[in-house]
Amino acid sequence: MMKRRTFIASTVAAAGAASLSRPTFSAAPAPKLFDTHCHFYTNDVEKYKLNPTGARYGAEVMTKKVMEKPMTPEVVFRFWDSVGVEMGTGVQYNSTYGTDNSYLLDVCRQHPKRALPVVILSPTDAATPDTLRKWAKEERLAAVRYSASPPASGDAPFFGAEAQAMWATANELGIAIVLMILGNNTGPALRKVGEHAAKYPNVKIALDHIAFPHPERLADTFGLLPEHMELSRHSNVYYKFTNFLLSEMEGYAKTAGKPMVELGPFIEHMVKVFGADHLCWGSDYGNVEVDDVVYTRRFTDACQGLSARDRAAFYAGTARAVFVPGGRGRG
């Protein structure tokens, strides 16, 4: 039995592509949102040197994107204003700058009431703990982020012995750690997440894109693995639903030749499993190639079946509790 929530299994995974058709938007005011996942980058490549070696579609494509469609504060905040985002986190974009967080930190320093930094650092670098302490104090650091495609064992560099000093420092500071787990070995990696959640209880761990559930494969759980269910026992693990995940789910269903699940029942199922106080939303603006205004409104429309309290948590409350400027301090 779940310690935090009594899990109510969904009766069916409702099918139908209608959830991804263009919705009829309500005339009601946009809800107040906290965006946990957007990216800033500039075409001022003389001041901020590009390092697109980790770009998904190659350095040439990424460079063209940066030069033609830079994600400056003016661009990002215009999008935020259009959908009701009051504040958010800028997530360091590995595809443009690798671990050089200079542009992100400059943006967040210049706009302290709108953006908080989520940086990328080497988890095994001996200098990382001191950098976390320094940036927590001086840069209002909200989190540090890591991503990997783990092997079958679930191991990743950010779980290894050399990364434990980083985890201990985040635990000391009360700084969140964001993990993006890619590839086909999600289950073993989620077990590692659970081990670290138990070992470092003052670290709030946020899983990007809910660790990519596949509803078209596991209809009765809307794609959640047994390891997702087990992980819900840990009160310091949180889950990001993003516009990118929505686009990926659409792609998964199309590839499998199956209809996309209805978004409303999917979201309600996530709330039943994890609790709205452990779910937050992120646009992935600057990365995902969709109409983010439309996708954001699809998300908020799909949340209308939730209680007002759950909507408030999912929209902003959970994010504000996880992404605290400078960390929450010792637990």
- Residue-range domain boundaries for the chain: 74-85+120-322
Q: What is the pLDDT of residue 19?
A: 34
Beta bridge partners of 146: 179
Is the CATH number of domain 74-85+120-322 3.40.50.9100?
A: no
Give the whole-angstrom CA distance, residue 70 versus residue 285: 11
Q: What is the pLDDT of residue 23?
A: 38
145 phi, psi to nearest 5 deg: -125, 145
Q: What is the pLDDT of residue 52?
A: 83
- DSSP secondary structure letter of residue 159: G
Q: Is 164 left (phi over 0), alpha (psi -120 to 50) or beta?
A: alpha
DSSP string, 185-220: -HHHHHHHHHHHHHH-TTPPEEEGGGG---TTT-GG
Q: Residue 30 is encoded by which pair of tokens?
A: 């946009």
Q: What is the pTM of this model?
A: 0.90
Mean pLDDT by 10 residues, the chain (331 residues): 37 32 45 96 96 80 94 98 97 94 98 98 97 98 96 95 98 98 96 98 98 95 97 98 97 95 97 98 96 97 97 98 95 67
Q: What is the pLDDT of residue 208?
A: 98
Orientation angle between helical segments 243-256 and 292-302, nearest 10 degrees: 90
Contacts of residue 74, Cβ cutoff 8 Å, sequence gap at least 6:
none
